[in-house]
Amino acid sequence: MNNQRVGYQGEPGAYSEIAAMRFAENNKPFEDFKHIFQAVVDGSLDYGAIPLENSLGGSIHQNYDYLMEFPVNVIAETYVNIEHCLMGLPGSQLEKATHVLSHPQALMQCKDFLDAHPNLKAEATYDTAGSAKLIAETKSLNQLAIASKRAAELYGLNIIKTDLADADWNITRIVCIAKKDVAIHPSVKSSERKTSLVFLMPNEQGSLFTALATMALRKIDLTKIESRPSRKKAFEYLFYVDIIGSPTERNVKNALAHLEEISPMVKVLGCYGKIE
């Protein structure tokens, strides 16, 4: 670890901050993703922690758009377990509280718990950690928050209940972005490399099959594929593909050259490794 500066979206205690802390020591909250990309490009940040997909919510297309728009590289990835906890000020009690505050998505993910506790009125807030912060500020014993364990620690709240969510499989994949001239994050230990690409294909008979043949015929493993209708032109599709390997390997290099023969646009978002 070093003294690099990393930006994440949300208040301190946000799930993205957990990823940011793995990327650098010096982390800074941002209100939105676009400003993180801008800060990385203008050099006021070294890194950005950008969520790309969640096991319940799916891929975050808007962040893929920013990866296409800004001159940045993906230099690492990490996985954060979203473990919602119920918390309140010391002295607060589940039975006596009247309100529970959190981001609407977190509230919806804890619907079974809320249904079983009709004494608690759900109240939406801008983010999970912000709810914990709000309770610490208002000093209200009637209000509880749904947020991360770290948010409870940061704002001096007691954890009343862990494992609050209905689904037990809520994981967010967060990548580290840096300027184009940074190739890989120094904390990546493993030599296994993943390469993320975006390419465009016209919606012609079998065009995706042909595109995937460039990889399959060279025995390259895919770990993700996703189509997205292009916003620029009807009947064109963007494909997001992650493969095991690096463009420095001959088969990957040849597959990418082959893909460029048949696709009007191929962009490598980065070649990176995992940070635990």
Would you say 87 and 152 are in contact if contact means Cβ atoms under 8 Å apart? Answer: yes
The binder of a copy of itself chosen from 36, 107, 136, 144 (CB under 8 A):
107
The binder of a copy of itself chosen from 71, 104, 156, 202 (CB under 8 A):
104
Of residues 258, 255, 233, the one with CA closest to residue 246: 255
The binder of a copy of itself chosen from 27, 53, 82, 165 (CB under 8 A):
53
Helix, strand, coil share of the chain (percent; to 5): 30, 35, 35
Distance of alpha carbon 90 from alpha carbon 159, whole angstroms = 9
Under the binding rule (CB under 8 A), the answer on residue 159 touching a copy of itself is no
The binder of a copy of itself chosen from 169, 191, 234, 276 (CB under 8 A):
169
CB of 107 to a copy of itself, least distance (A): 7
**Residue 31 DSSP code:** S
Under the binding rule (CB under 8 A), the answer on residue 125 touching a copy of itself is yes
Under the binding rule (CB under 8 A), the answer on residue 212 touching a copy of itself is yes
DSSP string, 103-116: -HHHHHHTHHHHHH
The binder of a copy of itself chosen from 2, 3, 43, 58 (CB under 8 A):
58
Under the binding rule (CB under 8 A), the answer on residue 260 touching a copy of itself is no
Distance of alpha carbon 1 from alpha carbon 89, whole angstroms = 33
CB of 246 to a copy of itself, least distance (A): 18
CB of 227 to a copy of itself, least distance (A): 5
- Cβ–Cβ contacts within 10 Å for residue 108, how many? 14
The binder of a copy of itself chosen from 25, 31, 153, 163 (CB under 8 A):
31
End-to-end CA gap in the chain: 13
Of residues 8, 6, 13, the one with CA closest to residue 128: 13
The binder of a copy of itself chosen from 69, 153, 192, 221 (CB under 8 A):
221
Q: Is 120 helix (H, G, I), strand (E, B) or coil?
A: coil
Would you say 25 and 4 are in contact if contact means Cβ atoms under 8 Å apart? Answer: yes
CB of 211 to a copy of itself, least distance (A): 10
The stretch near a copy of itself (CB under 8 A) out of 155-163, 210-218, 245-253, 266-274 is 210-218
Under the binding rule (CB under 8 A), the answer on residue 183 touching a copy of itself is no
Structure tokens at 38: 């801008």
The residue to which tokens 């862990």 are assigned: 162
Binding site for a copy of itself (CB under 8 A): 31-32, 34, 53-62, 65, 103-104, 107-108, 111, 122-127, 167, 169, 203, 205-206, 208-209, 212-213, 215-216, 219, 221-229, 231
